[in-house]
Structure 1
Amino acid sequence: MCKIKMQSYFTMYFVHTNFPGVIGAIDGTHVAIWPPDKNREHLYINRKLYHSLNVMIVCDYHCKILAVVANHGGRTHDARVWNSSQLSRHMLNKYEYGRRNVWFIRRFWRYPLLPYLMTPKLNQPAGSPSASYTDCHATARCSIERTIGIWKGRWRCLRKERALHFTPEFAGKM
């Protein structure tokens, strides 16, 4: 990503949420699919007991999708989807080479605790700096929730009620 584009992502989150260095929000969603072959069906049944792909999405503040990882069954935990992505390897590489001022906003329990994934601080006293941080974090994280809502609203076939009629191998490839 070029320097100018990266700077614009920093600016968007900073202007709207007071978080310097945030380049995107990350979250997962399930896309319902038609049941796959019987011998691998168990890999696609999620915790809500329907067949799905576990899709990780990264977006900017204005709901522009920056990355999508859609090659894991619904049974796969979000942390494993993150760990197997090229984005996680890229962020780890940048961090190891001294880049300490770039973050993604994430949910508290779904993704691993890493220095480049910002997490909220739960149960903080009202009015404290930590509570203020958590409020700003929630505001910033709304961008990924809006993005997923817009995405599933525009392409209704991605919703649970309308399962995709593709085999998982086909649905996960570009």
Structure 2
Amino acid sequence: MAFVEEEFFIDDDLDILDIVEFGFPRKIYNRTNHFEDLDNLTFFKRFRLTKNTVLHLLELIEVDFEYDNNLNNSVTPIDQLLAVLRFYASAGHLSTVSDFIGMDVSTASRIVAKVTRAIARLYPQFVKMLGPNDLIQAQTDFYRVVSFPRVIGCVDGTHIRIQSPGGEDPEVFRNRKGYFSINVQGICDANLTLLDVVARWPGSTNDSTIFNNSRIRRRFENNEFPNCLLLGDSGYIVRNYFLTPLLNPLLRNERLYNEAHIRSRNVIERCFGVWKRRFPVLAYGMRLKLNTVLQVIIATAVLHNLAKRMNEEEPPLPDDVNQEEVNYLIAIADIGDVPNINQNVHVNHFRDHLIRDYFSRL
């Protein structure tokens, strides 16, 4: 099962096999109070959110995983949440999380799956397309970038590394750069807020196919966003609401159109970069069950928008994460599609009309 935009399928299976210990005494862990003991900057670096935001998040989800008592040295809700945030801030090793928080690896596995599901359930509240009253402001925000009219969002795909999922046809998850991945479609506004995330397609799927089968395409074609545009790269098909750059601009107005398009579309690339640097596990990839990987993608999208809503700055990378390595992994996750040679003359006329009547006057 996988996330299908705004629909969620929850799997209660664990990410690794339970560790069953026969004949060994039970190990009791002494846990550090990281929330109280760490200063604000260190906490921000290690958990990627400020203490105020973590407390706000805990209020929203703790009912899903709090215990009725503290028998058997149970892990408190705050420690469960910090364990998961620490996992998102790491290179994807559960052993690192278990050592840091003070718990067994099998316990860390169960907590990552459980708390991730709780955060992902907040998706409809934090990741949503613009309402009718927000469209003009969104267009104004994009217009301020480089004077491109009517744009409310930019679309692109980014690849999240996974281990081979096994099964009957694992090769469908191998992308054109040779590694296994999920191709995640994201749409963001000019302020780098995610408006829509589709996390269910294997790495061999091209970006255009994902958009063609997405709910957001149907919503645009049902005229839910009148007089509004999306921008995407040349791997997509041109539509009367979706514009791509010209492949061979010759005239001045064509070059101006392409320049404005590229500079406006840069926001989605920046959004992916901010998202993955805040949660480096997205750059490194995950050695978890496929369903849990999809849930982590959705959960971190929720947290990215929560951080934007709380006006948080981008945190510095943790000390155990290499900046150059993360930037390199982010860069190679941008697997551009082969340009789509669109034969829809009528739709191309729409783009040509915009270039002729608007960009010729700039």
* TM-score, structure 2 normalization: 0.44
Tell me the residue number matched to 1:115: 240
Instruction: Return the match for 2:151 from 12, 19, 22.
Output: 22
Q: Sequence identity of aligned pairs in percent? A: 30
Aligned equivalents of 2:244, 2:293: Cα separation in 1: 31
Gaps of 5+ in 1: none
Q: 1:125 to 1:113 in 2, by over 3 A?
A: closer
Structure with the largest fraction of helix? 2
Matched residue type, 1:106: G
Tell me the residue number matched to 1:135: 259
How many residue pairs were aligned? 167
Runs (4+) of structure 1 exceeding 6 A deviation are none
Tell me the residue number matched to 1:154: 278
Displacement of 1:9 after TM fit?
0.6
Aligned equivalents of 1:23, 1:40: Cα separation in 2: 38
Matched residue type, 2:286: L
Contact 1:53 1:168 in 2 (8 A): no
Aligned equivalents of 1:48, 1:23: Cα separation in 2: 31
Instruction: Return the match for 2:160 from 27, 31, 37.
Output: 31
Contact 1:22 1:103 in 2 (8 A): yes
Quote the RMSD (CA, aligned, Å). Answer: 1.7
Structure with the largest fraction of strand? 1
Aligned equivalents of 2:237, 2:250: Cα separation in 1: 25
* TM-score, structure 1 normalization: 0.89
Instruction: Return the match for 2:201 from 57, 69, 72.
Output: 72
User: Alignment partner of 1:39: what SS?
Assistant: coil
Matched residue type, 2:241: Y
Matched residue type, 2:285: A
Displacement of 1:156 after TM fit?
1.0
Aligned equivalents of 1:81, 1:3: Cα separation in 2: 25
Instruction: Return the match for 1:12 from 141, 144, 152.
Output: 141
Contact 2:161 2:181 in 1 (8 A): yes
Taking CA–CA contacts closer than 8 Å with sequence separation of 6 or more, which of the two structures ends up with the larger relative contact order? 1
**Alignment partner of 1:105 is 2:234:** no
Displacement of 1:169 after TM fit?
2.7
User: Alignment partner of 2:211: what SS?
Assistant: helix
Displacement of 1:17 after TM fit?
1.8
